[in-house]
Structure 1
Amino acid sequence: MDLNLRKAIKSNIHGNTADDLEATIVDAIKSGEEKMLPGLGVLFELYWETASTEDKEEVLQALEKAVQ
């Protein structure tokens, strides 16, 4: 079976509003289920691909603080 996880996740979130996306992120974090991690990864990837250099630097600084 040929399963393209990125494509499936992108299809599932296509057209979602900011509120929908926030609910997805919060649910994924609250549930703590490993199966939610790929979806969060795809969301981050989509963000990263369109973020400005300044936005990326801000995220990197926030992540650096979070992992301390």
Structure 2
Amino acid sequence: MNFNLRNAVIANVSGNSQDQLRATIMDAIQSGEEKMLPGLGVLFEVLWQNAGTTEQQHILQTLEGGLK
């Protein structure tokens, strides 16, 4: 069986509104379940790939600050 998690996550949230995306993210974080981490990783990948250089720098600064 060939299952592509990345494609499954993207298919599951494609076309979602901002409110729906926020709810998905908040649910994944609040549940604290390890199985949700790959999905958040896919969403982060989409964010990163669609961010410009300035946005990527802001993301990195936010991550750095949050990890101190």
Give the TM-score category using the shorter length: over 0.9
Which residue type is aligned with residue 57 of structure 2? E
- RMSD over aligned Cα, in angstroms? 0.5
Structure 2 stretches lacking a partner, 5+ long: none
Secondary structure of the corresponding residue to residue 44 of structure 1: helix
Deviation readout 1:2-53 (Å, 9 max, x if unpaired): 1000010110001001100000110000000001001100000001101010
Q: Which has the higher contact order (CA 8 A, sep 6+)?
A: 2
Aligned-pair identity (%): 56
1:61 Cα offset (Å): 0.3
Instruction: Give TM-score scaled by structure 1 length.
Output: 0.97
The 2-side partners of 1:20 and 1:38 are apart by: 18
Instruction: Give TM-score scaled by structure 2 length.
Output: 0.97
The aligned counterpart of 1:28 is 28
Structure 1 stretches lacking a partner, 5+ long: none
> What is the count of residue pairs matched by the alignment?
68
